[in-house]
Each structure stands twice: as structure tokens, then as C-alpha cells.
Amino acid sequence: MDMRYTSAMNTWAGTSDHVDVTVRLDVAVITLNRPEVLNALTARMRKDLAAALRHHGNGQTVRGLVITGAGRAFSAGEDLREAARRPKGELVAEVELFHDITRAALETRVPVVAALNGIAVGGAAEMTLGFDARIGTPAAEYLFPENDLGLAISNAASLLLPRLVGNRALRLVLDSSRINARDALSLGLLDEIAEPPDLTEAAIDLVHRWTRPRASTAVHLRLLRPSLQDVERAIAAETMAVQVLERDGTARAGIDRFLAARSGEAR
């Protein structure tokens, strides 16, 4: 059963905005499908991902959700080319679309598992921090580049990253360097490394283990996930940081610098 989701109508439709859903063995596998740009997330993709999480996460249709990427990357994060075309003052709204993915994941009544087939960058890396597990291939990597770009972390990462890696969170963000799969496993960013092509199967198997018959999974998700109140406080602080960086021009300069560097590489 292969379906494409349209969030605005809250229904399934035949057109695609690069967020595909396939239900396999009672698990919804959500694929970020824009491999030609490493699954960089447009505003529409972020809206559709949050909507798909809410639609399938109600505990009535599937046993869990797996989020993965098409091609060689999980996701390059926000589509900065699209962001650069937005009028001044809209960066906060762009970041709020990332925040809503974390809200949607934490509101589900079923497990949410990231299956990292490659690199996860920026907001895409940060959204996985609010998922219940993260499984990667040996090619999986994490990158939190915001400090170098003059941007701010999102998705309540100011709360969720230290929750996973402790006081090493500050260094990971300030260094803005790639974290390979082995190091991510050691740090606690990854829970498991699975050899391809078994990544999705490993994630589905984990969902099945956690939702075996008569298990009280939904109760324990509610008890052990970070509280939505704490998450909202972190999101509010991150939003204020984005407002400051946008107002003083730091964010726009960072985006322009990144795009100029990429343009030079292309030549």
C-alpha cells in the first residue's frame, strides 16, 4: 500500500510533495523523497511530514512510524535556497515548521523511529532527537552546522540534545563538525547500526518488539518521553534566538555565505 500525503486537506492524494508513505507490516514508513538535493526539506515537506506523523500516529491505523530518506542522505536539513527567497522577517515561520515536527512526533501514541540511511543535517538531525529511537547504517552521519552558519538550533534541540549526550551537546553544536556513525553510537545519538539493506527492516522490527500484543506501549511513551511543557519552553527560547539572529542580520548573512560557497563549488 503506497500512498502520498497532502497535509492541507488531511487526506491522501495522488500528487507528491516529496513525502511518501508506505505501510509495511503494520508500520508506516515515511520517506523523504527528494534525493537530487539530498532530501533538503522545503516548507511544504515539513508541513507534510508533521501531518503524516499526526495522521498515522493516533494508534488506530499502524503500530509505529519509521522515517527515512531516499538515496544517499537522510536529509540535508532546511532547503536554504528556498529560505533565501523568503521576504525578510519570515525566518521564524520557517523554523516553526521544524518545531511542529517535534510536537507531532511527541504527540503520537505509537513509537517513532528514525532510520538514517546517510547524513542528517541541521533541523533534520535535530528533529530525530525527539523520536523514540535512531538506527543508522555505517554511512549515517550527524551534522549540526548552525553555529558556523549564524543560525540557531531548532526542534527543542537545546533540551533534547543534552538529554541524549549530556554535557557534550555544547561541543557538538559549537564545533559544527560531522559525527560519523560509530561516534554517534558512542555518544548516544544513534541507538543501533544496521548494515544496508536491512536498515528499514531493523527499524520495523524494533517497532514490532515495542508493540507486541498486550504491551502498554502508549502509556510508557507518555511517561518516558520529554514533557510537552518542557519542549515548548525550549522551542520558545529557540524561537527568540532566531528572532535576534534575523533582526541583527546574522542569519541572512550566514545563509548568503553558505549559498555563495555552494555556487562556487558548483563552478
Catalytically active residues are: 126, 146
**Dihedral Cα 18, 21, 24, 28, nearest 10 deg:** 120
The per-residue pLDDT for 41 is 97
**Widest distance between CA atoms in the chain:** 59
The per-residue pLDDT for 63 is 98
Cα distance between residue 114 and residue 124, in whole Å = 10
Q: Residue 126: CA atoms inside 13 Å, Cβ hemisphere, count?
A: 33
The per-residue pLDDT for 265 is 66
The per-residue pLDDT for 87 is 79
pTM of the prediction? 0.92
Q: Give the angle 104-175-78 at the CA atoms, nearest 5°.
A: 35
- Which residue type does 267 have? R
The per-residue pLDDT for 13 is 40
The per-residue pLDDT for 16 is 52
For residue 91, the Cα-to-chain-centroid distance in whole angstroms is 18
Mean pLDDT by 10 residues, the chain (267 residues): 39 61 97 97 96 95 97 96 84 94 98 98 98 98 97 98 98 97 98 94 98 97 97 98 95 92 67
Centre a 10 Å sphere on the Cβ of residue 155 and count the other Cβ atoms it contains.
29
Centre a 10 Å sphere on the Cβ of residue 12 and count the other Cβ atoms it contains.
12
The per-residue pLDDT for 264 is 67
Cα distance between residue 69 and residue 50, in whole Å = 15
